[in-house]
Amino acid sequence: MTQSLLRALDLRAVNGTPAQLWLRDDDAVAPTAALDHLIDLTEAASVPVTLAVIPAHSGQALANRLAAAKGASVAVHGWSHSNHAPASEKKQELGAHRPVSDVTGELARGFDHLAGLHGDQFTQVLVPPWNRIAPQVVARLPALGFKALSVFGPEAASPLPMFNTHVDVIDWRGTRAGRPDDVLMQEIAQAMLRSDAPIGLLTHHLVHDAQVWGFLERLFALTADHPGCRWVGLPQLIGSP
Protein backbone atom coordinates (compact mmCIF):
# COMPACT_ATOMS: atom_id res chain seq x y z
CA MET A 1 0.00 0.00 0.00
CA THR A 2 2.74 2.45 0.89
CA GLN A 3 5.61 0.94 -1.10
CA SER A 4 5.33 3.27 -4.10
CA LEU A 5 5.47 6.33 -1.89
CA LEU A 6 8.31 4.94 0.21
CA ARG A 7 10.35 4.26 -2.93
CA ALA A 8 9.78 7.83 -4.15
CA LEU A 9 10.70 9.23 -0.73
CA ASP A 10 13.83 7.11 -0.54
CA LEU A 11 14.89 8.27 -4.01
CA ARG A 12 14.40 11.89 -3.05
CA ALA A 13 16.45 11.34 0.10
CA VAL A 14 19.30 9.65 -1.79
CA ASN A 15 19.34 12.48 -4.34
CA GLY A 16 19.35 15.12 -1.61
CA THR A 17 16.22 16.75 -3.03
CA PRO A 18 13.46 16.34 -0.44
CA ALA A 19 9.98 16.88 -1.85
CA GLN A 20 7.93 19.78 -0.54
CA LEU A 21 4.43 18.83 0.56
CA TRP A 22 1.74 21.27 1.57
CA LEU A 23 -1.85 20.96 2.80
CA ARG A 24 -4.88 23.01 1.75
CA ASP A 25 -8.27 22.47 3.36
CA ASP A 26 -11.32 24.15 1.79
CA ASP A 27 -14.64 25.64 2.96
CA ALA A 28 -13.86 26.66 6.53
CA VAL A 29 -16.44 29.02 8.01
CA ALA A 30 -16.72 28.35 11.76
CA PRO A 31 -15.34 26.22 14.60
CA THR A 32 -16.59 22.63 14.40
CA ALA A 33 -15.64 19.24 15.77
CA ALA A 34 -14.28 18.34 12.32
CA LEU A 35 -12.06 21.42 12.29
CA ASP A 36 -10.80 20.55 15.77
CA HIS A 37 -9.97 17.05 14.50
CA LEU A 38 -8.03 18.45 11.55
CA ILE A 39 -6.10 20.88 13.72
CA ASP A 40 -5.31 18.16 16.26
CA LEU A 41 -3.94 15.90 13.51
CA THR A 42 -1.82 18.57 11.85
CA GLU A 43 -0.43 19.94 15.11
CA ALA A 44 0.52 16.47 16.35
CA ALA A 45 2.44 15.83 13.11
CA SER A 46 3.84 19.40 12.80
CA VAL A 47 2.11 19.75 9.41
CA PRO A 48 1.18 23.34 8.49
CA VAL A 49 -2.33 23.74 7.06
CA THR A 50 -3.84 26.50 4.96
CA LEU A 51 -7.57 26.89 5.45
CA ALA A 52 -9.46 28.34 2.48
CA VAL A 53 -12.06 30.40 4.34
CA ILE A 54 -15.36 31.63 2.83
CA PRO A 55 -15.38 35.31 3.87
CA ALA A 56 -19.13 36.02 3.66
CA HIS A 57 -19.97 33.21 6.07
CA SER A 58 -17.06 33.53 8.49
CA GLY A 59 -16.35 35.79 11.41
CA GLN A 60 -14.73 36.27 14.78
CA ALA A 61 -15.51 32.78 16.09
CA LEU A 62 -13.26 31.13 13.51
CA ALA A 63 -10.57 33.76 14.01
CA ASN A 64 -10.56 33.06 17.74
CA ARG A 65 -10.25 29.30 17.17
CA LEU A 66 -7.46 29.58 14.62
CA ALA A 67 -5.48 32.04 16.73
CA ALA A 68 -4.63 29.11 19.00
CA ALA A 69 -3.82 26.74 16.12
CA LYS A 70 -0.12 26.18 15.48
CA GLY A 71 0.90 26.25 11.82
CA ALA A 72 -2.50 27.39 10.52
CA SER A 73 -2.85 30.04 7.84
CA VAL A 74 -5.88 31.49 6.05
CA ALA A 75 -6.52 32.03 2.33
CA VAL A 76 -9.46 33.72 0.60
CA HIS A 77 -12.03 31.22 -0.73
CA GLY A 78 -13.94 33.51 -3.07
CA TRP A 79 -16.63 35.57 -1.39
CA SER A 80 -19.74 33.49 -0.60
CA HIS A 81 -19.11 30.25 -2.53
CA SER A 82 -22.20 31.03 -4.65
CA ASN A 83 -22.71 29.60 -8.12
CA HIS A 84 -23.37 32.16 -10.85
CA ALA A 85 -23.07 29.82 -13.82
CA PRO A 86 -26.12 28.44 -15.66
CA ALA A 87 -27.19 24.84 -15.12
CA SER A 88 -25.59 23.88 -18.42
CA GLU A 89 -22.11 24.78 -17.12
CA LYS A 90 -19.92 23.67 -14.23
CA LYS A 91 -20.37 25.64 -11.04
CA GLN A 92 -18.45 28.90 -10.81
CA GLU A 93 -18.44 31.94 -8.56
CA LEU A 94 -15.53 33.72 -10.25
CA GLY A 95 -16.45 33.03 -13.88
CA ALA A 96 -17.34 35.34 -16.76
CA HIS A 97 -21.04 35.35 -15.93
CA ARG A 98 -21.02 38.74 -14.19
CA PRO A 99 -19.22 42.05 -14.76
CA VAL A 100 -15.58 41.76 -13.72
CA SER A 101 -16.01 44.77 -11.46
CA ASP A 102 -18.71 42.94 -9.47
CA VAL A 103 -16.50 39.88 -9.03
CA THR A 104 -13.42 41.83 -8.04
CA GLY A 105 -15.45 44.02 -5.71
CA GLU A 106 -16.52 40.94 -3.77
CA LEU A 107 -12.97 39.59 -3.73
CA ALA A 108 -11.69 42.89 -2.36
CA ARG A 109 -14.30 42.72 0.43
CA GLY A 110 -13.30 39.17 1.21
CA PHE A 111 -9.59 40.03 1.25
CA ASP A 112 -10.10 42.93 3.66
CA HIS A 113 -12.52 40.98 5.86
CA LEU A 114 -10.19 38.02 6.40
CA ALA A 115 -7.06 40.18 6.68
CA GLY A 116 -8.73 42.13 9.48
CA LEU A 117 -9.89 39.01 11.30
CA HIS A 118 -6.80 36.81 11.02
CA GLY A 119 -3.85 39.20 11.15
CA ASP A 120 -0.53 37.39 10.80
CA GLN A 121 -2.30 34.15 9.91
CA PHE A 122 -3.77 35.71 6.77
CA THR A 123 -2.00 34.91 3.52
CA GLN A 124 -2.64 36.85 0.31
CA VAL A 125 -3.72 33.84 -1.73
CA LEU A 126 -6.98 33.32 -3.61
CA VAL A 127 -8.54 29.86 -3.71
CA PRO A 128 -11.43 30.03 -6.23
CA PRO A 129 -14.55 28.07 -5.25
CA TRP A 130 -14.78 24.88 -7.30
CA ASN A 131 -11.18 25.68 -8.43
CA ARG A 132 -12.48 27.72 -11.39
CA ILE A 133 -11.78 31.35 -12.30
CA ALA A 134 -12.08 33.41 -15.47
CA PRO A 135 -8.84 34.75 -17.03
CA GLN A 136 -10.11 38.32 -16.88
CA VAL A 137 -10.55 37.97 -13.12
CA VAL A 138 -7.08 36.46 -12.69
CA ALA A 139 -5.62 39.48 -14.47
CA ARG A 140 -7.06 41.80 -11.79
CA LEU A 141 -5.81 39.85 -8.77
CA PRO A 142 -2.41 41.57 -8.31
CA ALA A 143 -4.13 44.96 -8.11
CA LEU A 144 -6.34 43.61 -5.30
CA GLY A 145 -3.30 42.63 -3.23
CA PHE A 146 -3.18 38.92 -3.99
CA LYS A 147 0.30 37.39 -4.20
CA ALA A 148 -0.68 33.95 -5.50
CA LEU A 149 -3.47 31.77 -6.82
CA SER A 150 -4.28 28.19 -5.85
CA VAL A 151 -6.58 25.85 -7.80
CA PHE A 152 -6.48 22.10 -8.49
CA GLY A 153 -4.30 20.47 -11.13
CA PRO A 154 -1.12 21.35 -13.00
CA GLU A 155 0.11 24.92 -12.72
CA ALA A 156 -0.41 27.08 -15.84
CA ALA A 157 0.90 30.41 -17.07
CA SER A 158 -0.56 33.14 -14.88
CA PRO A 159 -0.09 36.85 -14.07
CA LEU A 160 0.83 35.80 -10.53
CA PRO A 161 2.43 32.70 -9.01
CA MET A 162 0.34 29.54 -8.74
CA PHE A 163 0.61 27.02 -5.92
CA ASN A 164 -1.93 24.36 -6.79
CA THR A 165 -3.20 21.25 -5.09
CA HIS A 166 -2.62 18.03 -7.03
CA VAL A 167 -4.03 15.17 -4.94
CA ASP A 168 -7.65 15.22 -3.72
CA VAL A 169 -8.52 12.80 -0.92
CA ILE A 170 -12.22 12.64 -1.87
CA ASP A 171 -13.87 10.86 -4.81
CA TRP A 172 -16.21 13.70 -5.78
CA ARG A 173 -17.40 12.17 -9.06
CA GLY A 174 -18.09 8.72 -7.66
CA THR A 175 -18.67 7.68 -4.08
CA ARG A 176 -18.09 11.16 -2.62
CA ALA A 177 -16.18 9.30 0.10
CA GLY A 178 -12.51 9.00 0.90
CA ARG A 179 -10.34 7.56 -1.87
CA PRO A 180 -8.29 4.40 -1.15
CA ASP A 181 -4.86 4.73 0.44
CA ASP A 182 -3.06 2.92 -2.37
CA VAL A 183 -4.44 5.26 -5.04
CA LEU A 184 -3.57 8.38 -3.06
CA MET A 185 -0.09 7.18 -2.12
CA GLN A 186 0.58 6.34 -5.77
CA GLU A 187 -0.54 9.79 -6.92
CA ILE A 188 1.74 11.50 -4.40
CA ALA A 189 4.64 9.25 -5.44
CA GLN A 190 4.08 10.03 -9.12
CA ALA A 191 4.01 13.75 -8.38
CA MET A 192 7.34 13.43 -6.54
CA LEU A 193 8.94 11.67 -9.48
CA ARG A 194 7.48 14.05 -12.06
CA SER A 195 9.00 17.33 -10.87
CA ASP A 196 10.55 19.21 -7.97
CA ALA A 197 7.57 21.56 -7.63
CA PRO A 198 5.66 21.65 -4.32
CA ILE A 199 2.91 19.03 -4.11
CA GLY A 200 -0.43 20.15 -2.72
CA LEU A 201 -2.83 17.84 -0.88
CA LEU A 202 -6.49 18.93 -0.93
CA THR A 203 -8.93 18.15 1.90
CA HIS A 204 -12.41 19.32 2.99
CA HIS A 205 -12.70 18.75 6.74
CA LEU A 206 -16.48 19.21 6.88
CA VAL A 207 -17.16 16.13 4.74
CA HIS A 208 -14.38 13.75 5.77
CA ASP A 209 -15.28 10.15 6.50
CA ALA A 210 -13.28 7.61 8.51
CA GLN A 211 -11.23 6.69 5.45
CA VAL A 212 -9.99 10.26 4.96
CA TRP A 213 -9.13 10.77 8.61
CA GLY A 214 -7.31 7.45 8.69
CA PHE A 215 -5.42 8.21 5.51
CA LEU A 216 -4.21 11.54 6.88
CA GLU A 217 -2.96 9.84 10.04
CA ARG A 218 -1.12 7.21 8.02
CA LEU A 219 0.34 9.73 5.56
CA PHE A 220 1.56 12.04 8.31
CA ALA A 221 3.14 9.11 10.18
CA LEU A 222 4.91 7.97 7.03
CA THR A 223 6.24 11.37 6.00
CA ALA A 224 6.80 13.25 9.27
CA ASP A 225 10.41 12.16 9.84
CA HIS A 226 11.40 10.92 6.39
CA PRO A 227 14.42 12.75 4.90
CA GLY A 228 12.86 12.50 1.44
CA CYS A 229 10.24 15.17 2.12
CA ARG A 230 9.21 18.05 4.31
CA TRP A 231 5.86 19.66 4.99
CA VAL A 232 5.81 23.41 4.36
CA GLY A 233 3.22 26.12 4.85
CA LEU A 234 1.74 28.11 2.00
CA PRO A 235 3.04 31.40 3.46
CA GLN A 236 6.54 29.94 3.26
CA LEU A 237 5.99 28.95 -0.37
CA ILE A 238 4.86 32.42 -1.43
CA GLY A 239 7.59 34.11 0.54
CA SER A 240 5.50 35.69 3.32
CA PRO A 241 6.98 36.10 6.80
The domain limits of the chain are: 3-238
Residue in 21, 22, 23, 19 with CA at minimum distance from that of residue 10: 19
Q: Report pLDDT for 231.
A: 98
Which H or E run contains 107?
helix 100-118
- Cα 235 to Cα 125: distance, rounded to the nearest angstrom: 9
Q: Report pLDDT for 214.
A: 98
Neighbours of 228 (CB within 10 A): 21
- What CATH number should be reported for the domain whose range is 3-238? 3.20.20.370
Q: Could you tell me which residues are beta bridge partners of residue 169?
A: none
Q: Report pLDDT for 1.
A: 59
Contact yes or no for 220/7 (Cβ under 8 A): no
Per-residue pLDDT of the chain (241 residues), as tens digits, is 589 999 999 999 999 999 999 999 999 999 999 999 999 999 999 999 999 999 999 999 999 999 999 999 999 999 999 998 899 899 999 999 999 999 999 999 999 999 999 999 999 999 999 999 999 999 999 999 999 999 999 998 999 999 999 999 999 999 999 999 999 999 999 999 999 999 999 999 999 999 999 999 999 999 989 999 999 999 999 985 4
